[in-house]
Every structure is written in C-alpha cells, then in structure tokens.
Structure 1
Amino acid sequence: MIFHETDVFTARIVELIDDESYSALQAVLVADPEAGDLIPRSKGLRKIRWMGSGRGKRGGIRVIYYLVHHEEIFMIYAYPKNREADLNQRHLQILRDLVEQHLNQ
C-alpha cells in the first residue's frame, strides 16, 4: 500500500497522534482500505475515527482520506473531534479540489 499525504495532513497529524498510533492507523487502512465512512456528496472522500494520543476516549481525531485504488491512499486532512464539527460544504470542496490536483499530477 502506498500512502500519500498533503502538506496540511502531515503538519496536523504529528500534532495529533504519535508515530506508533499513526502506524496503527495505516495498518488498519492496509487491512481494510474502506474502513472509513464515505462522506456524503464528497466524491469519494472517507472519514475514519481514530483515538488521539493521550487524549482519552473523548479526545479522538478524524482523518479524511481518499482511496485512489486498493493499493494507494491519499491522506488529506486530520482534525481533533472536540475542536471541529463535521466539515461543511466549503471545506469539502477544498478537499475535493486537493484530490483532483493529486490525481492530475
């Protein structure tokens, strides 16, 4: 499995979880690339819920990713559950645009 990351994702994920937790997340996605829920009206973006490092049960994070195909995942965005509500349509459009740019490279 190949994982690609946006610069924003890379910056956010190191703030939210440690390397061990991120490796565990990647292992889950390797085993089941469709583990995340499809986000309605997002053209294929998925959201997976994950435990934040040292944050307890309520300190989970959300990771937005795009399954390019079963051997390639594009990690797009990560955010803490307690700081941001679900993504609005404007945010989803920005994330969809990032996917389009990645696919057209």
Structure 2
Amino acid sequence: MHSVIETPMYLRAAKAAGMNDAEMKAVVDHLSMAPDDGALMEGTGGARKLRAAGRGKGKSGGYRIVTYYCGKDVPVFLLDIYSKGDKTNLTKAERSTLREILAEVANAWRESARRKAQELRRNDHD
C-alpha cells in the first residue's frame, strides 16, 4: 500500500463539491493500491486526473480528482477535486501554476524525509 496525503486545498474542495466521508475514503483506498491511476494532465508537470463516481452519477458525471504521484518514495498527493458539472478541465493558468508547485513537491518531501531519518539515527545513538 502507498501513502496518500489529502492536502488542505483538496479537503476544502471535497467538502465544497459535496463529497461524503465514504466517497473520500474510497478515493484514498483506491490510490493507496493504484498510486499512478488517472490520466496525465498535459502541461502540469506530472499531475493526474482521476475520475471518480459521485452519488448516483457514475464516473462520467462524478468527480475529477487532481493527484500527484512521482515515485515509490513519495506519497500520492490529493491536490484538488471538482464536479464534472462545475468544470471539465483546468485552465492553462491553473496547469501552469500546478507545474510550478509540483516542481518542488517531490524534492521537498524527500529532503524532509532525509532530515527526519538523520534525526532518528542521531537519537538512536544517544
């Protein structure tokens, strides 16, 4: 199983889109087993768009979830969600902003993990 992080932006958007707890859990469970699921979104630097069923709407009328997965050593990040009825695709400006943000996400995560591992090793030797 792969780790999944629900970002604050995703959590706000999920609430605004009307997702219930069971739907949110289903998304996390699915991505923990298939972290690279979803279509790569052109111009985003690696973001993916995952289709998920909404209450009685099926996948075609449900939610679009923006995720980021860049490797086995980094969690899947849930970045945003929207209902297909509200929006069909990200704008060029939104894709550009994502590209800028995602360029740093994996490096920042890996650096943080490296620092924590060093700290744990130091504490083990004390």
Q: TM-score, normalised by structure 2?
A: 0.70
User: 2:81 — aligned with what?
Assistant: 78
User: 1:27 — aligned with what?
Assistant: 29
Q: SS where residue 10 of structure 2 aligns?
A: helix
Q: Which has the higher contact order (CA 8 A, sep 6+)?
A: 1
Cα 1:103–1:35 change in 2 (3 A) is closer
Comparing 95-104 and 26-35, the one that deviates more: 95-104
Match of 1:92 among 95, 98, 106: 95
Shift in Å, 1:68 = 3.3
Q: Of the two, which has the highest radius of gyration?
A: 2
Q: How many residues align?
A: 104
Residues 6, 75 of structure 1: 8 Å contact kept: yes
* Structure 1 unaligned spans of 5+: none
Shift in Å, 1:89 = 1.4
User: 1:67 — aligned with what?
Assistant: 69
Q: SS where residue 77 of structure 2 aligns?
A: strand
Q: Does 1:6 align with 2:7?
A: yes
Percent identity, please: 23
Shift in Å, 1:104 = 5.0
Q: Which 4+ stretches in 1 moved above 3 angstroms?
A: 100-105
Q: SS where residue 41 of structure 1 aligns?
A: coil
1:26-78 alpha-carbon deviations (Å, 9 max, x no partner)? 111111111111112221110000112x3523641100010032351111111
* Structure 2 unaligned spans of 5+: 109-126
Shift in Å, 1:101 = 4.7
Q: Which has the higher helix share?
A: 2
Shift in Å, 1:24 = 1.0
The root-mean-square deviation of aligned C-alpha atoms, in Å, is 2.0
Q: TM-score, normalised by structure 1?
A: 0.82
